[in-house]
Amino acid sequence: MISWTPLLGVPLLICVGCGSISRSFMNASWRDRWQQPDVVIQSLSLQPGNQVADLGAGGGYFTFRLADAVGPTGKVYAVDIDKGNLEYIAKQAAKRGYPNIETILAKPDDPLLPATGVDLIFTCNTYHHLTERTAYFQSATRYLKPGGRVAIIDLAGKSWIFRILGHWTPKETSQREMEAAGYSLQKDFNFLDRQMFQVFQKNS
């Protein structure tokens, strides 16, 4: 089974039974050098009390950083289709004292977010794994509060191996698909060397 798990610089298929290896790989400290997580979080302009969905949370690399950004009055939903990833995140959240993190076992075509809605759907290296992306995010508008946003970070195809494997998304493609789904491009950041980073806002 292929998970939404991010690919981080080498070909990596995440299969049942090797999840613990992949989570250690995803959360390795050396990732910080090129992922620039602090700059990413700052760029999102999150506020205390915000509700955020970490779509394709994987090993929780961004989940805990997002939880710090929204504070104890906020909420981060770690969303994944891999039960093992969610169990790992839940265990770490309890161990590290993050009551503002909640896990959601999603469907491949539906993140199953709370009906009350979220302020931001954040996804890193997951977009290229989704099928029928325009329909997926068009449907996801019902989970966004008024003015809600979707932040997409995905591999930019700068490595030939990812181009061959199809593990990347041209930013022109994501912009076209998201606009067709009912969003407008709000920000297009270029500080990540390996990835594109766009923020879209739900049209009113």
User: How many domains are there within the chain?
Assistant: 1
Give the DSSP letter string of the chain.
---SPPP-SS-----TT-HHHHHHHHT-GGGHHHH-HHHHHHHTT--TT-EEEEET-TTTTTHHHHHHHH-TTSEEEEEES-HHHHHHHHHHHHHHT-TTEEEEE-BTTB----TT-EEEEEEES-GGG-SSHHHHHHHHGGGEEEEEEEEEEEE-S-SHHHHHHT----HHHHHHHHHHTTEEEEEEE---SSEEEEEEEE--
- Assess if residue 2 is contained within a domain: no
pLDDT at residue 158 tops 70:
no
pLDDT in tens, 86-125: 999 999 999 999 999 999 999 999 999 999 999 999 999 9
- Assess if residue 197 is contained within a domain: yes
Q: What is the CATH number of the domain that holds 83?
A: 3.40.50.150
Q: Mean pLDDT, to the nearest integer, of 12-23? A: 46
pLDDT at residue 10 tops 50:
no
Question: Domain span at residue 79?
Answer: 19-202
Farthest CA pair distance, the chain? 44
pLDDT at residue 1 tops 50:
no
Q: Mean pLDDT, to the nearest integer, of 160-172? A: 64
- Assess if residue 1 is contained within a domain: no
- Assess if residue 42 is contained within a domain: yes
- Assess if residue 184 is contained within a domain: yes
